[in-house]
Amino acid sequence: MSIVIRGGTVVTAEQTFSADVYCENGLIAAIGENLEVPAGTEVIDATGQYVMPGGIDPHTHMQLPFMGTVASEDFYTGTAAGLAGGTTSIIDFVIPAPQQPLMDAYHQWRDWSEKSAGDYGFHVAVTWWDESVKQDMATLVQEYGVNSFKHFMAYKNAIMADDEILVNSFARCLELGAMPTVHAENGELVFQLQKDLLAKGITGPEAHPLSRPPVVEGEAANRAIQIAQVMQVPIYIVHVSCKESLEAITRARNEGQRVYGECLAGHLVIDDSVYRSEDFAFAAAHVMSPPFRSKEHQAALWKGLQGGNLQTTATDHCCFCAPQKAAGKDDFTKIPNGTAGIEDRMAIMWDAGVNSGKLTMNEFVAVTSANSAKIFNIYPQKGSITTGADADIIVWDPEASRTISAATHHQNIDFNIFEGRTVKGVPTHTLSRGNLVYKDGDLRAVKGAGKYVKRQAFSPVFEAMAKQSAANKAQPVNRK
Ligand code: URQ
Ligand code: ZN
Ligand code: ZN
């Protein structure tokens, strides 16, 4: 199966240039002007369009069992919807229940993800701690290509990691060459504020943002960053939603600490007025954590992306339909947290980012694909247009428009947080490892065609740091 993409302008995180791109056996085989290709090669005419690396969404939750239900989007429908929107790889999450062996949970999620239509990997959550967790982390890194571990600082009495778990797990991440990541909200404060609001009789979805104000996120982000600093380990903060977290990240980065920040397409363009809707279903459909924030925070997040203090964009694609959200009809704390976005992230980021002048096309590629590949160590296999890389490619028409709607999206959810938004700039073709899986509205996703992407540990950097850290600790104190 060979395909040549002719006449387009290649846009990567680093460069913009005219070239044909020839793909063979799932890889990019040649890049250049007027390429000679074998007879029978399928031709895609990319005249007037951009040829870019397929999007990487580093934060999704397909078919997640959560808050008494299961996310409605599964690994097939969710990755297929991603392909329709120009996202060709995801990094999802294995989330063990407390006391559940990490390896058991890992295999459970691997079974579920076999049906993926696009490529996928996993962050593994550390939701409890003992020696077996420490060992399973090593097994996951050394044998299963996991190089990142997630810590939920929220969700008390469920999957919340306290400081003891953070410290133990961060130390283990350094030893293994793995990246610790955090959902940064102070779960104790959320729990207290939820109780206070319910005690006052405020039970509707309007209470959700009131129970998780920006300071609750900023405190946790700062605490996680400081713990990482003491533990001498890099850290990745997921779904940064407010300026308080961004300030903590920026402060640390300005001090040379290795901190990375992710923001969600939704948090960049949707504000907290959604929670003040009289319509329960509408407001509840937007219940996710951290919540959508006021416009000042969106402006800060854009500056974070522009200034390089936020490196990646994601969706936190975690779908619950209206009947599921209705579980919280009389108690907002029972509304399953999560919203969708995998199909729309790329177009939202292009329309709100590039068309507005906030981001260059190269920065668009960086924050939707290349940076995630670099941070999670799958670059240039993913996130690049280079010979030998996976042929995960999108052909992008900057002049075409689309109006986003649940009525037409491929996502398996009855709501779209970007409903009615018309975006200019859409993918016309998506290639997943050289297979044409989307063409001009025709989605040709194949169940099970997606591959598990192993991500190697960051041994060179981390080993040296771990040795130095151990040497520092072992330094005897010469008492006179
Ligand atoms: O917290 C997360 O990232 C998961 C449980 C999805 N839900 C959400 O509200 N973000
Ligand atoms: Zn989260
Ligand atoms: Zn999440």
Helices (H), 183-320: 187-199, 207-210, 214-231, 243-254, 265-269, 280-285, 295-307
Expressed in angstroms and rounded, the spacing between residue 19 Cα and the centre of ligand 3 is: 37
Q: For the beta carbon of residue 313, count every other beta carbon within 10 angstroms.
A: 33
Query: What is the residue-level pLDDT of the chain in tens, covering all 480 positions?
Result: 899 999 999 999 999 999 999 999 999 999 999 999 999 999 999 999 999 999 999 999 999 999 999 999 999 999 999 999 999 999 999 999 999 999 999 999 999 999 999 999 999 999 999 999 999 999 999 999 999 999 999 999 999 999 999 999 999 999 999 999 999 999 999 999 999 999 999 999 999 999 999 999 999 999 999 999 999 999 999 999 999 999 999 999 999 999 999 999 999 999 999 999 999 999 999 999 999 999 999 999 999 999 999 999 999 999 999 999 999 999 999 999 999 999 999 999 999 999 999 999 999 999 999 999 999 999 999 999 999 999 999 999 999 999 999 999 999 999 999 999 999 999 999 999 999 999 999 999 999 999 999 999 987 445 566 667 677 777 777 777
What's the CA dihedral at 324, 329, 332, 335 to 10 degrees? Answer: 0
Helices H, strands E: what count in the chain? 16, 21
Asked whether 150 lines ligand 1 (CB < 6 A), one says no
10 Å Cβ neighbour count for 327?
Answer: 16
How far apart (Å, rounded) are the C-alpha atoms in residues 480 and 477?
9
122 touches 146 (CB < 8 A): yes
Q: Which CATH number fits domain 53-386+452-460: 3.20.20.140, 3.40.630.10, 3.40.109.10, 3.90.1150.10?
A: 3.20.20.140
The atom of ligand 1 lying closest to the CA of 337 is 9
Residue nearest to atom 4 of ligand 1 (CA): 338
Strands 259-264 and 235-237: parallel
Pocket test for ligand 1, best of 183, 293, 315, 324 (most atoms within 8 A of CB): 183
- The residue whose C-alpha atom lies closest to atom 7 belonging to ligand 1 is 338
**What do you get for the CA distance between the two ends of the chain, in Å?**
75
Q: 86: helix, coil or strand?
A: coil
Q: Is the CB of 318 under 6 A from ligand 1?
A: yes
**Cα of 341 from ligand 2 centre, angstroms:** 14
Alpha carbon distance 125, 144 (integer Å): 15
| Cα separation values, 310 from 5, 94, 243, 357, 371, Å | 32, 24, 11, 17, 10
* Pocket probe mutation, ligand 1, options 57, 59, 61, max atoms within 8 Å of Cβ: 61
Q: Name the H helices within 338-458.
A: 345-349, 361-365, 371-375
Distance from the alpha carbon of residue 176 to the mean position of ligand 3, in angstroms: 23
pLDDT of 462: 53
Whether 395 contacts 8, CB under 8 Å: yes
Residue nearest to atom 9 of ligand 1 (CA): 288
Residue 91 CA to residue 58 CA, distance in Å, equals 5
Q: How far is CA 373 from the centre of its chain?
A: 11
DSSP letter string over 400-417?
EEEE--TTT--SSSS--T
